[in-house]
Structure 1
Amino acid sequence: MMRKRMVYFTSIAVLVLMGVFAWNRTTRAAYESAEYKVIESDDNFEVREYPDLMLVATSTKIDAQGRDGSFMKLFRYISGANESEQKISMTTPVFMESKPLMENDKTDSEVQMGFVMPKEVAVEGVPSPTGPDVDVHKRAGGRFAVVRFSGRLNAKLAKENEAKLRAWMDSKGLVPDDSPESNGVESASYDPPWTPGPMRRNEILIRLK
């Protein structure tokens, strides 16, 4: 009897996980995603070529994951808090770009959270924000080394995967672009906040020379 119950509950758990996985993939597919071309692929590592992208961005910390109000500032922008009062479709991923730090600033987790503008909006012209602490800027295209991983993104997980990515880059002879114009290290999240950690798609990106 006990064994039958275990089999039953295990089967239910598997079905639920499969359902959540399918729903999550469907949810992701519903959004326009930033285009890129894969140049090289090696398990969870890739070299990609990105075009220029237009982002609307605000300051946050990677551990905050939008809970500090940064996500809502950007959401209000795409909901109409812009000079055209234009509603703009959500896209993936949400980029976290490293910000240049002040000389005496010891915080290494300060980033710009950015929503990618849909291609059509970028072509027609991105409206200026009307809300506070939000700006529009261009993410310059180029070649990036990328590692994909799951989990709930925080500074510790980002640093661990950055180290893995840099080790892979060294093994491939790939040189990071450390110039002042470079974005530095970026992270990207593809899923809504309520997505379970094991089913989340996260990435670390490093611009290459």
Structure 2
Amino acid sequence: MAAQSLARTLILSSTLTPNINPTSFNCLKSMAPTVNTTTTFAPLQRRTMSAFEARISLVFALASQASSVSQRRKFLMDLASETAKYVFPKRFESQNLEEALMAVPDLETVRFKVLNRADKYEIREVEPYFIAETTMPGKTGFDFNGSSQSFNVLAEYLFGKNTSKEKMEMTTPVITSRTRSDGERMEMTTPVITKKVENQDKWQMSFVMPSKYGSTLPLPKDPSVRIKEVPRKVVAVVAFSGFVTDEEVKRRELRLRDALKNDSGFRVKEGTSVEVSQYNPPFTLPFTRRNEIALELEKKKE
């Protein structure tokens, strides 16, 4: 310690005494301890906000802005109105006991007209609507991790991660569909070329967008989110309760395809893939949940 103190003193005095021996100076300088002034920080990891956390964050953000009595009153009224949509749900017209027990939140949904009801399905004409869509990870559509990740990406867009920082209202249902393609056929040449389509055999998750925006929806900041318009179409729909699994979807899709073979007016459109709609939040009791599978149809040729 004494040697280190002496070294520091001589180094300091060397700045005031230009005639010091350079060799002695270097020797003494080497005796001084080296101080490392570089601090290394661990890289910050960005934590993805869950859909539930995003919703709660939005509620607290609104509360913090309610600085006056009138603003607080409006906030409480909005909160009560939002809660009532889930506490007092609405019901579709039911065809059996299972459907009679189903309930959906009182949120904006896709508009449609029922064209026909059969014993095992319902045929609807669905009006055009816009969706925000993202590709789900993996090759299954209903594993918990993949579904949660995709839901969070879309929820962030809906609650403000867009070019206008617009916080939009939640709608229903959440739609999951599979992209199937055998490839893109080019014009007739030699040889015939088939190009693999991006996201082939992948599942897509979609949020139905509030109709008041139409084609003026704010653009997403996340490049994995795409805005699309779904054109008018005719679909066959089967509703069921409980939790959705890949096995359950496959079983009900096969049953619906078999039933539609006997339909007198419509048939399954060539190349169509099953579409699954889920209307309820995760905390809904299984027997009151409403899920639907749908297949796009076309008129049979006479």
Do both share a fold (TM > 0.5)?
Answer: yes
In the alignment, what sits opposite 1:87?
167
Aligned pairs for 1:117-196 (under 5 A) are: 117-122=209-214, 125-173=216-264, 174-179=266-271, 182=272, 184-196=273-285
**More strand as a share of residues:** 1
CA contact (8 A) 1:44 1:149 kept: no
Residues in 2 aligned to 1:43 and 1:194: alpha-carbon distance in whole angstroms? 30
Q: Report the AA paired with residue 89 of structure 1.
A: E
Residues in 2 aligned to 1:197 and 1:160: alpha-carbon distance in whole angstroms? 18
CA contact (8 A) 2:180 2:201 kept: no
Residues in 2 aligned to 1:153 and 1:51: alpha-carbon distance in whole angstroms? 25
Unaligned runs of 5+ in 2: 1-85, 91-102, 184-195
Does 1:198 find its partner at 2:278?
no
Deviation at 1:50, TM superposition (A): 0.6
Q: How big is each residue's C-alpha offset from its partner over 1:11-61, in whole Å with a ceiling of 9 and x where there is no partner?
A: xxxxxxxxxxx9473583421111100001134510000111110011124
Note closer, same or farther for the CA distance 1:187–1:24 as it changes in structure 2 (3 Å cut).
farther
Aligned pairs for 1:6-155 (under 5 A) are: 23=87, 25=89, 28-43=104-119, 45-60=121-136, 61-64=140-143, 67-101=147-181, 110-122=202-214, 125-155=216-246
In the superposition, the TM-score normalised over structure 2's length comes to 0.55
Deviation at 1:199, TM superposition (A): 1.6
Q: Report the AA paired with residue 241 of structure 2.
A: S
Residues in 2 aligned to 1:139 and 1:198: alpha-carbon distance in whole angstroms? 30
Residues in 2 aligned to 1:154 and 1:62: alpha-carbon distance in whole angstroms? 8
Bigger RCO of structures 1 and 2 (CA < 8 A, at least 6 apart): 1
Note closer, same or farther for the CA distance 1:192–1:127 as it changes in structure 2 (3 Å cut).
same
Residues in 2 aligned to 1:68 and 1:176: alpha-carbon distance in whole angstroms? 31
Q: Report the AA paired with residue 169 of structure 1.
A: L
Q: Report the AA paired with residue 189 of structure 1.
A: Q
CA contact (8 A) 1:62 1:109 kept: no
RMSD of equivalent CA atoms: 2.6
In the alignment, what sits opposite 1:5?
none
How many residues align structurally? 183
Residues in 2 aligned to 1:42 and 1:108: alpha-carbon distance in whole angstroms? 33
Partner-residue secondary structure (3-state), 2:248: helix
Residues in 2 aligned to 1:108 and 1:158: alpha-carbon distance in whole angstroms? 19
Partner-residue secondary structure (3-state), 1:165: helix
Note closer, same or farther for the CA distance 1:24–1:95 as it changes in structure 2 (3 Å cut).
farther
Residues in 1 aligned to 2:262 and 2:223: alpha-carbon distance in whole angstroms? 44
Residues in 2 aligned to 1:46 and 1:177: alpha-carbon distance in whole angstroms? 16
Q: How big is each residue's C-alpha offset from its partner over 1:60-81, in whole Å with a ceiling of 9 and x where there is no partner?
A: 2421355441100000001011
Partner-residue secondary structure (3-state), 1:92: coil
CA contact (8 A) 2:180 2:200 kept: no
Deviation at 1:113, TM superposition (A): 0.5
Q: Report the AA paired with residue 99 of structure 1.
A: T
Residues in 1 aligned to 2:254 and 2:206: alpha-carbon distance in whole angstroms? 23
Residues in 2 aligned to 1:88 and 1:44: alpha-carbon distance in whole angstroms? 36
CA contact (8 A) 2:174 2:207 kept: yes
Q: How big is each residue's C-alpha offset from its partner over 1:173-200, in whole Å with a ceiling of 9 and x where there is no partner?
A: 4311115xx5x22111101122222221
Aligned-pair identity (%)? 30
